[in-house]
Structure 1
Amino acid sequence: MKWVQLPLGPLQTNAYVIRNEEKECLIFDPGHEGEKLLGYLRQEGLQPLAVLLTHAHFDHIGAVDAVREAYHIPVYLHEEEAEWLADPSLNGSALFMMNRAVTAGPADELITGKANLKIGPFSLEVRETPGHSPGSVSYYMAEAGLVVSGDALFQMSIGRTDLPGGSFPELIGSIEEKLFTLPEETVVLCGHGPETTIGFEKAKNPFLT
């Protein structure tokens, strides 16, 4: 299994494409620049099976409809943020994009609580990691040894908690209970910036040591 990081949009939000040898893939957090992302998928001859959102802030959802319409695939999102896709005041675009609303159609599959997903040949464990936003989740793929953390955990940092529904104590609890309990060699694919590992963040992250 292979993955690629594609920083997209004005905030350089990381979209991730995780693929197998048969060129089937999952797309995580397609934030902006739909044509750039679609161009990569076509260039590589990939067959997307689903879009998975770690949360519904505007910089993670801007290319959702472009990908969904191109490949007719489902979009997964935690039920806590089901209304955020269509509401710029909830997803933050009304505040940060100077009235350039970012919206997407409704999610096709709503995640409720901890879940195990089987999408084609891919197996994922959904871990609820609220704190940055109330419906934030992380996707753990044990076979690949990685977790897509969205904006919960970054290299040497954590997600901001001053946005609507954010909570610093809740985020710290999410990281300690849902992410730091993963194997230390687990690669963390972060919503912004470079990847890291659970072991490195447990030892070095100044917010958590």
Structure 2
Amino acid sequence: MKWKQIPLGPLQTNCYVLYDSDKNAVIFDPGGDAQILKSWLNENKLIPAAILLTHAHFDHIGAVSDIRQSYDIDVYLHEKEKDWLTDPNKNGSALFIGNSSITSAQADHHINGEGNLTISTFSFEMYETPGHSPGSVSFYHSESETIFSGDVLFSGGIGRTDLPEGNHQTLLNSIHDKLLELPENTQVACGHGPVTTIGTEMDSNPFLNGF
């Protein structure tokens, strides 16, 4: 199993493509620039099986419609944000980019609760990690020792909580109760910036000093 980080869209949000030796793939958070993503997928002869959204802020969903239609694949999103794909006020695009509001059809599958998720050859442990947004989900892939966590935990930082339905203490609880329980060598595939590890953030992240 391998994965590729591809910054996309107006905020250069990290999209991730996890793929196996048989060219099966899943896509996390295609934030924009659909043609760049499609070109990379096609160059590498990958066959996407699904789009997994850590949450539905506009900078994580900009290429959802194009990629979904191009590869005829399903979209997974937490049910607490089921209306965000269709509502530019909820996903933030109306506030931040105005006339270029971003929308998509609703997700095909609405996540409710935690547990195992298997798509094609990929198995994930799903964790509800709200705080940055109410429906934030982190996907732990044990085979690659990686958690795809969106905007929950960053290298030296944490997700912002000043957006609608964000909550600082809820975010800290999510990080402490879910992410920091993972093995310290777990790679954190962040929604923005460089990849880090759980151990590194436990040791040096200034927002986690109390843990």
What CA distance in whole angstroms lies between the structure 2 residues aligned with 1:131 and 1:20? 32
Aligned residue for 2:120? 120
Aligned residue for 2:190? 190
Structure 1: 4+ residue segments shifted above 2 A: none
Alignment of 1:45-194 (within 5 A): 45-194=45-194
What CA distance in whole angstroms lies between the structure 1 residues aligned with 2:53 and 2:31? 10
For 2:42, give the aligned amino acid: R
What CA distance in whole angstroms lies between the structure 2 residues aligned with 1:199 and 1:132? 21
Output one character per residue of 1:139-190: Cα deviation in whole Å (capped at 9) or x when no partner.
0001110000100000000000000010000000000001000000000000
TM-score of the superposed pair, with normalisation by structure 2: 0.98
The count of corresponding residues between Structure 1 and Structure 2 is: 209
Aligned residue for 1:2? 2
What CA distance in whole angstroms lies between the structure 2 residues aligned with 1:67 and 1:126? 23
Unaligned runs of 5+ in 1: none
TM-score of the superposed pair, with normalisation by structure 1: 0.99
What CA distance in whole angstroms lies between the structure 2 residues aligned with 1:159 and 1:99? 26
CA positional deviation for 1:100:
1.4
Q: Partner of 1:86: helix, strand, or coil? A: coil
Q: Partner of 1:94: helix, strand, or coil? A: helix
For 1:98, give the aligned amino acid: G
What CA distance in whole angstroms lies between the structure 2 residues aligned with 1:159 and 1:93? 18
CA positional deviation for 1:9:
1.1
What CA distance in whole angstroms lies between the structure 1 residues aligned with 2:83 and 2:70? 23
CA positional deviation for 1:10:
1.4
Unaligned runs of 5+ in 2: none
Output one character per residue of 1:41-76: Cα deviation in whole Å (capped at 9) or x when no partner.
111100000000000000000100111101111100
For 1:208, give the aligned amino acid: L
What CA distance in whole angstroms lies between the structure 2 residues aligned with 1:116 and 1:62? 27
Aligned residue for 1:34? 34
CA RMSD of superposed structures (Å): 0.6
What CA distance in whole angstroms lies between the structure 1 residues aligned with 2:51 and 2:10? 21
Q: Partner of 1:163: helix, strand, or coil? A: coil
For 1:136, give the aligned amino acid: S
Q: Partner of 1:180: helix, strand, or coil? A: helix
